[in-house]
Chains A and B, each alone.
Chain A
């Protein structure tokens, strides 16, 4: 399917819970309501027309006024790609996990938690993955203050 058709299908199915779509961008995307992410993920994974079985990338972006979670999806059978975005408040970014839909989301979500402090509700094992467990702060946030020491070691 073309990005335009995917955007139209999502709007038809989820109505106002699809907040904004840009199917003609270089990287076509739709911004969706964060509370609906699990339902939408199950739909795009299970629907025969979409069958987005491959989660290529899940990551956060800090836009200073909000944090976005980006899901880049690909279908191995249909050979099309589409991007979903969820906009979360910076103070308490919380969203439901999609690890039940794509296994790889487990690690990607741990990384997003580690780097941005995004809480994935229902995640089976939400721990830091790249930084040490007792690291403070979320390094990829734009207002991150670099620590001067770690466990009394100067950095």
Chain B
């Protein structure tokens, strides 16, 4: 967007207490009238020293802490961690554990994308989609609650297995939910995605080119929104995702340049449908088995280091673990997808209008718990 900065520069604080910042984020806007000359994000308000804590608790004890990073997608957070430790220790899990993990991760991806879409509509000024999305998300949380007793922070994936098996009749409820939910996505498209006002507000703002996205380490739906076809589930598979039939959704720029806010939003909506496809295939692969059979008595990985990443709803979540052969991680570093996408915010938002800052921020779908850790 072209802009002329002629007048007086005024500093405007957005946040940390602001409903559109999706948490405690402060944006320091340098504004020239309605145009933003520079937007400096200030983070750290939710810093809870996760990496420092992890050095003083045993490997299994870290799992509940990972839940609290991205609290909208806790299943994916803990799954990334347990897969990393399992790879370091060389633990193989049986097919039942594998299938249940995929089902839970994809359900959580749907729930997380529903929050993203609903709150994004709310940011732009549309209230109804928010209620619709949260209504459908409730059904997913009910399924989680039935399985592990928790609705938000699960501690369900354990190193070597799962906390509990799914309850009898879970598969039936799951398929019923999918049958109900898939048409709802089309309803949401009619209500929000194809809405004229919504497209006008989002389709030509916040353009992120693929070069900027890759240089700033942007991952997940935000990267795919810029037209880069990259998904860890297909390109660096784990849990046997390579054998599952689903499409990697990318931004196509139907209503404007590729890499706009609308593209990023739409990638998530299309991914929700792919999640349903994945779950249907994996439910058919479920075999009987003991979900706790591979849980080690003592979790003591060998000396060494490992980096592994998984595809979370918000992008690639990487864990870098250094083990000194003890019972606690010597060093645990998290590569947070929201952290990297926020580092690109300054680049993407320069020259935008103040109202568009909210649209750009919402389209990034950040969770501050994960940025600040």
Query: Residues of A with Cβ closer than 8 Å to B?
Result: 25-27, 53-57, 59, 61-62, 70, 72, 76, 79, 81, 83, 102-104, 106-107, 115, 128-132, 139-140, 144
- Cα–Cα distance between A139 and B51 once the two chains are bound (Å): 10
Name the distance in Å between A65's Cβ and chain B's nearest Cβ.
Answer: 13
Name the distance in Å between A129's Cβ and chain B's nearest Cβ.
Answer: 6
- Residue B77 at the A interface, CB < 8 A? no
Contact: A129 with B307, CB < 8 Å?
A: no
Contact: A107 with B320, CB < 8 Å?
A: no
Residue of B51, B212, B316, B320 touching A103 (CB-CB under 8 A): B212
> Helix, strand, loop or mixed for chain B's interface?
mixed
- Cα–Cα distance between A43 and B280 once the two chains are bound (Å): 46
- For A25, give the chain B residue with the smallest CB separation: B304
- Cα–Cα distance between A4 and B331 once the two chains are bound (Å): 26
Residue of A61, A102, A130 touching B47 (CB-CB under 8 A): A130
- For B331, give the chain A residue with the smallest CB separation: A61
Residue of A72, A79, A104 touching B216 (CB-CB under 8 A): A104
Query: Residues of B with Cβ closer than 8 Å to A?
Result: 43-44, 47, 49, 51-52, 87-88, 212, 214-217, 228, 230, 235-236, 304-307, 309, 316, 318, 320, 322, 330-331, 333, 335, 339-340, 342-344, 347, 372-373
Name the distance in Å between A25's Cβ and chain B's nearest Cβ.
Answer: 7
Name the distance in Å between B77's Cβ and chain A's nearest Cβ.
Answer: 16
Q: Which residues of A contact B335 (CB under 8 A)?
A: 56-57, 72
Contact: A139 with B49, CB < 8 Å?
A: yes
Q: Which residues of A contact B372 (CB under 8 A)?
A: 130
- For B304, give the chain A residue with the smallest CB separation: A26
Name the distance in Å between B306's Cβ and chain A's nearest Cβ.
Answer: 5
Q: Which residues of B contact A104 (CB under 8 A)?
A: 215-217, 340, 343-344
Contact: B216 with A76, CB < 8 Å?
A: no
Q: Which residues of A contact B305 (CB under 8 A)?
A: 25-27
- Cα–Cα distance between A140 and B373 once the two chains are bound (Å): 13
Q: Which residues of B contact A106 (CB under 8 A)?
A: 343
6 A–B contacts from the bound complex (CB under 8 Å): A25-B305, A27-B306, A54-B217, A56-B217, A76-B230, A102-B217
Residue of A59, A76, A130, A132 touching B320 (CB-CB under 8 A): A59
Q: State the 5 A-B residue pairs at the shortest beta-carbon distance, nearest first.
A: A104-B217, A107-B343, A130-B44, A103-B215, A59-B333
Contact: A61 with B44, CB < 8 Å?
A: no
* Known contacts A25-B304, A54-B217, A130-B372; is-contact A103 B344 (Cβ 8 Å): yes
- Cα–Cα distance between A81 and B232 once the two chains are bound (Å): 13
Contact: A129 with B44, CB < 8 Å?
A: yes
Name the distance in Å between B251's Cβ and chain A's nearest Cβ.
Answer: 16
Contact: A130 with B43, CB < 8 Å?
A: yes
* Known contacts A104-B340, A106-B343; is-contact A26 B47 (Cβ 8 Å): no
- For B308, give the chain A residue with the smallest CB separation: A27
- For A72, give the chain B residue with the smallest CB separation: B307
Name the distance in Å between A68's Cβ and chain B's nearest Cβ.
Answer: 9
Residue of B44, B87, B217, B304 touching A131 (CB-CB under 8 A): B44
* Known contacts A76-B230, A130-B44, A132-B44; is-contact A57 B307 (Cβ 8 Å): yes
